[in-house]
């Protein structure tokens, strides 16, 4: 395309497609892409334009670049003249080179303020080769939900459990969590939770939950049938959960109809913190509090109001 110059015969680039606001050119939340048509789309009917943000290059004109350092690969991508930015269509990722913690904190805060979920911290020279499809300590995620003070923890009630897979076979590996709505006297689903547990915790929790397994969902449980768990649980436990943020959701029911018609609120990227044995269900976070937390969010992702954020599926 226009980004790739005639000097390039073949290449493999690493990047991400993002939705952009046609009026301001600002990057919008990932959820906006879910509303973009995928079949039989005509150019003149596209309402959500997209832009490709380029991170890296791993192959150029018949040569693999996997063994080169990030600094070398980045120079080839950004400064060699082989590729160029096209406003609103192709963009080079923003970055800062530093080993100073204060500068990292400042850049992290800037990214969150612009609606990003965090940073990827990468080694630049030593051990900085590109390793595809494999976790590496050369690349680390720094996400806003990992940082204390960005989002309050919530005390939620597990109402269902999913059997684990792989090494978690034989124990519960995920859970459906809910908050209680005093107005409707129902437990409203708020997320599916599968991270933050050690294997030992899952074994202990699975054993302790056997006593509260129910044959079917009570009539006062509000949930989407697509999220129906393998077993239902009596609402008697309270867990402290941390999340990246709260989003409008067509699949969850917390604060249903209170922030968006026909929709509830969901936790994004929820993570188990601990069991709250000191709390009963009556002391857990209720639906009105979830709505309040949602409305108190000051950072929106690609929009001017947090109410427009929407999660189309679970981040479990």
Q: Taking 80 as the threshold, does the pLDDT of residue 309 lie above it?
A: no
Predicted model pTM: 0.58
Span 270-287, pLDDT tens digits: 889 999 999 999 999 999
Span 12-71, pLDDT tens digits: 999 998 888 777 777 776 666 655 555 555 555 556 788 899 999 999 999 999 999 999
| The pair of three-digit structure tokens given for residue 189, joined into one six-digit string | 């689903």
- Per-residue confidence at 303, pLDDT binned at 50, 70, 90? very low
pLDDT of res. 149:
42
Compute the C-alpha angle 288/216/275, nearest 5°.
50
- Per-residue confidence at 308, pLDDT binned at 50, 70, 90? very low
Q: Taking 80 as the threshold, does the pLDDT of residue 257 lie above it?
A: yes
Closest CA to 153 of 241, 239, 238: 241
Three-class DSSP category at 168: helix
Domains of the chain listed by start with CATH number: 11-146 (3.30.470.30), 154-308 (2.40.50.140)
Lowest mean pLDDT among 76-80, 111-115, 258-262: 111-115
Calculate what percentage of the chain has a pLDDT beyond 70: 83
Task: Reduce the secondary structure of 172-229 to three states and give it as a string.
Answer: EEEEEEEEEECCCCEEEEEEEECCCCCHHHHHHHHHHHHHHEECCCCCCEECCHHHCC
Q: Which residues pair with 154 in a beta bridge?
A: 241
Q: What are phi and psi of 288, to 5 degrees?
A: -65, -35
């Amino acid at each position: 395309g226009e980004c790739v110059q005639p000097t390039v015969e073949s290449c493999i680039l690493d990047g991400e497609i993002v939705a952009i606001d046609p009026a301001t050119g600002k990057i919008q939340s990932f959820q906006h892409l879910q509303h973009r048509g995928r079949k039989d789309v005509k150019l003149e009917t596209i309402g959500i334009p997209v832009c490709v943000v380029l991170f890296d290059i791993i192959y150029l004109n018949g040569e693999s670049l996997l063994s080169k350092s990030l600094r070398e690969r980045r120079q080839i991508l950004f400064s060699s003249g082989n590729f160029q930015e096209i406003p609103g269509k192709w963009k080079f990722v923003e970055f800062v080179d530093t080993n100073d913690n204060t500068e990292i904190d400042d850049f992290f805060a800037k990214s969150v303020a612009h609606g990003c979920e965090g940073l990827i911290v990468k080694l630049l020279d030593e051990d900085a080769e590109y390793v595809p499809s494999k976790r590496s300590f050369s690349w680390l995620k720094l996400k806003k939900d990992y940082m204390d003070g960005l989002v309050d923890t919530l005390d939620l009630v597990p109402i269902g459990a999913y059997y684990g897979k792989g090494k978690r076979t034989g124990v519960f590996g995920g859970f459906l969590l809910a908050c209680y709505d005093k107005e409707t006297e129902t437990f409203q689903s708020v997320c599916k939770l599968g991270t933050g547990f050690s294997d030992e915790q899952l074994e202990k929790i699975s054993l302790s939950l056997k006593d509260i397994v129910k044959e079917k969902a009570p009539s006062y449980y509000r949930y989407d049938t697509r999220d129906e768990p393998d077993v239902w649980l009596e609402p008697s436990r309270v867990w402290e959960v941390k999340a990246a943020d709260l989003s409008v959701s067509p699949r969850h029911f917390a604060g249903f109809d209170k922030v968006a018609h026909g929709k509830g609120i969901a936790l994004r990227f929820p993570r188990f913190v601990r069991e709250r044995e000191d709390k009963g269900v009556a002391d857990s976070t209720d639906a009105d509090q979830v709505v309040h937390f949602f409305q108190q969010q000051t950072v929106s992702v690609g929009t001017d109001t947090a109410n427009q954020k929407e999660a189309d599926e679970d981040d479990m």
